[in-house]
Amino acid sequence: MSETIENANTPRVFVATWGCQMNEYDSAKMVDVLAKNRGATRVATPEEADIILLNTCSIREKAQEKVFSQLGRWKPLKDANPNLVIGVGGCVASQEGHVIRERAPFVDMVFGPQTLHRLPQMLDDVADNGAGIVDIAFPEIDKFDAMPAPRAEGATAFVSIMEGCSKYCSFCVVPYTRGEEISRPFDDVILEIAELAEQGVKEITLLGQNVNGYRGPMADGSICDLAMLVEFVAEFEGIERIRYTTSHPLEFSDALIEAYARVPKLANVLHLPVQSGSNAVLETMNRGYSVEHFIERIEKLRAVRPDISLSTDIIVGHPGEGAAEFEATMDLIERIGFDAAFSFIYSSRPGTPAADMADDEPRALKKQRLKRVQDRIAVFNRQLMTDMVGTTQRVLVERESKRGGGQMAGRTDSNRWVNFEGHPRMAGHFVEIEITEALDNSLRGRIKTHETVVEPLAPA
């Protein structure tokens, strides 16, 4: 047996990931698919790998050039070891497709977010034919069907419930790179969560580009929406905390608000991207809602969860945004009091409607405006953190703290990191922590009580 075949049987995979949680999730799935089909293991550096994968994101950056410079750095590895397989996946791959192979012919595989489950076949094709593969379709049979069973690592897990987006916001590449919204069948989602709960997972994050567009087909022909799904997930005894990301204000339904009232396991935090506080800009962005609608939704939510922690995404400098429109965004920030925000300067993405709109505010001005947004949010964030001092928080302990010295780290319901003196045995359990100090990006606290862990009864 040649060395190539041996390596191909138990390959070592290195994955570099750019981008969001969705991409992190996809990278983990790439490794899972290869582990299941090929016994692959993940390694930490490209030098020790038989397969190098680059999982790209193009949502806010001109990522194309970054891809080619990254590939250029890996080329010497390929020159030294012709059996090395290099693959490029993710959003840039699905946009650039064949261009990647034309400019970097040493790349063996180019695949989109919807075809990563076909990686084993792509590897076979590369081994058999030695030719490059470009597989960036949006297949009818969605990738969820081909995924291996979930493996929990620790007490928290992500579960993908839908893929893609059909909202077509003016500025955004997602509908073009990930395709239209497709929801994963209800039974599949529930089965995956059951398996994770059995492996000791306590916190589930339901994941998708637009999770409140979830319309999961059920076995009896009816449709399950996000609110209903949350209620079903809450039924699992082992699952004690439910999060979801990301949602859209348009479909932030009454039913979902009612779920906040009825389901205490639904974490007391909401990330709801608003993008702009100006109705004119929201319209240009094709967001489909008004500032008034956004405020009304938040007020209704706060009526049932007065202390919910709110965060958002804001774009500064979208075409059509002048001084007055920007001030409207500052007013909205003031009015809502977001605890956190991801804010970005608008970046023109080829192929999107906004790319053809006049974008004439000077960059320096946009930078100043971005700073105003960030400074204001930082003050709100600081306020939230200091207000937490003296309160008791239910913290899911995740791991030993990076600070060392017997420190453990976990997250509150509102997704803030807390460091405290504890024991590694606590990892994976909820503990009540009294917050003693607010630092810039994390909190410090001390244990109040250690929750009693009741072992489940053995099945009869």
**Whole-angstrom Cα distance, residue 178 to residue 100?**
18
Peptide bond connecting 246 to the previous residue in cis, omega within 30 degrees of 0: yes
In the window 347-376, what residues touch ligand SF4 (CB under 6 A)?
none
Q: Which stretch binds ligand SF4 (CB under 6 A): 10-18, 94-102, 123-131, 172-180?
A: 172-180
Residues 341, 418, 260, 266: is their CA dihedral positive or negative?
positive
The answer to whether residue 174 forms part of the interface with ligand SF4 (CB under 6 A) is yes
Q: Which stretch binds ligand 5AD (CB under 6 A): 33-41, 158-166, 277-285, 339-347?
A: 339-347
- Beta strand pairing status for 156-160 and 203-207? parallel
**Which of 119, 147, 157, 315 forms a contact with ligand 5AD (CB under 6 A)?**
315
Find out whether 91 is annotated in a ligand binding site. yes
**Whole-angstrom Cα distance, residue 428 to residue 396?**
7
Q: Which is nearer to ligand SF4, 119 or 315 (CB)?
A: 315
Q: How far is the CB of 223 from ligand SF4 (least distance, A)?
A: 20
Q: Which listed option, ligand SF4, ligand 5AD, none, makes contact with residue 344 (CB within 5 to 8 Å by class)?
A: ligand 5AD
Q: Which is nearer to ligand 5AD, 186 or 244 (CB)?
A: 244
Q: How far are the Cα atoms of 164, 207, 286, 388 from residue 24, in angstroms, in the given order?
A: 15, 11, 28, 30
Q: Which is nearer to ligand 5AD, 199 or 347 (CB)?
A: 347
Q: Which listed option, ligand SF4, ligand 5AD, none, makes contact with residue 15 (CB within 5 to 8 Å by class)?
A: none
Find out whether 165 is annotated in a ligand binding site. yes
Q: How far is the CB of 359 from ligand 5AD (least distance, A)?
A: 11
CB-based burial, 21-58: b 16+ in 10 Å, e otherwise:
ebbbbbbbbbbbbbbeebebebbeebeebbbbbbbbbb
Q: One symbol per residue from 148 to 187: x for binding ligand 5AD (CB under 6 A), - otherwise; what is it? A: -----------------------xx---------------
The answer to whether residue 59 forms part of the interface with ligand 5AD (CB under 6 A) is yes
**Whole-angstrom Cα distance, residue 230 to residue 109?**
38
In the window 237-256, what residues touch ligand SF4 (CB under 6 A)?
248
Q: How far are the Cα atoms of 166, 270, 295, 375, 417 from residue 380, in angstroms, in the given order?
A: 33, 15, 18, 9, 17
The answer to whether residue 172 forms part of the interface with ligand SF4 (CB under 6 A) is yes
Q: Which stretch binds ligand 5AD (CB under 6 A): 67-75, 331-339, 341-349, 399-407?
A: 341-349
Q: How far is the CB of 341 from ligand 5AD (least distance, A)?
A: 9
| Number of amino acids touching ligand SF4 (CB under 6 A) | 10
For the chain, state the CA radius of gyration: 23
Q: How far is the CB of 272 from ligand 5AD (least distance, A)?
A: 10
Find out whether 224 is annotated in a ligand binding site. no
Find out whether 57 is annotated in a ligand binding site. yes
Q: Which stretch binds ligand 5AD (CB under 6 A): 86-94, 343-351, 411-419, 424-432?
A: 343-351
Q: Which listed option, ligand 5AD, ligand SF4, none, makes contact with residue 209 (CB within 5 to 8 Å by class)?
A: ligand SF4
**Whole-angstrom Cα distance, residue 379 to residue 163?**
35
**Whole-angstrom Cα distance, residue 176 to residue 351?**
8
Amino acid letter, residue 41: T
Q: How far is the CB of 419 from ligand 5AD (least distance, A)?
A: 28
The answer to whether residue 346 forms part of the interface with ligand 5AD (CB under 6 A) is yes
**Which of 209, 245, 414, 419 forms a contact with ligand SF4 (CB under 6 A)?**
209
Interface residues with ligand 5AD (CB under 6 A) are 59-60, 171-172, 273, 275, 313, 315, 344, 346-347, 349
Binding residue numbers for [4Fe-4S] cluster: 20, 57, 91, 165, 169, 172
Binding residue numbers: 20, 57, 91, 165, 169, 172
Interface residues with ligand SF4 (CB under 6 A) are 165, 167-169, 172, 174-175, 209-210, 248
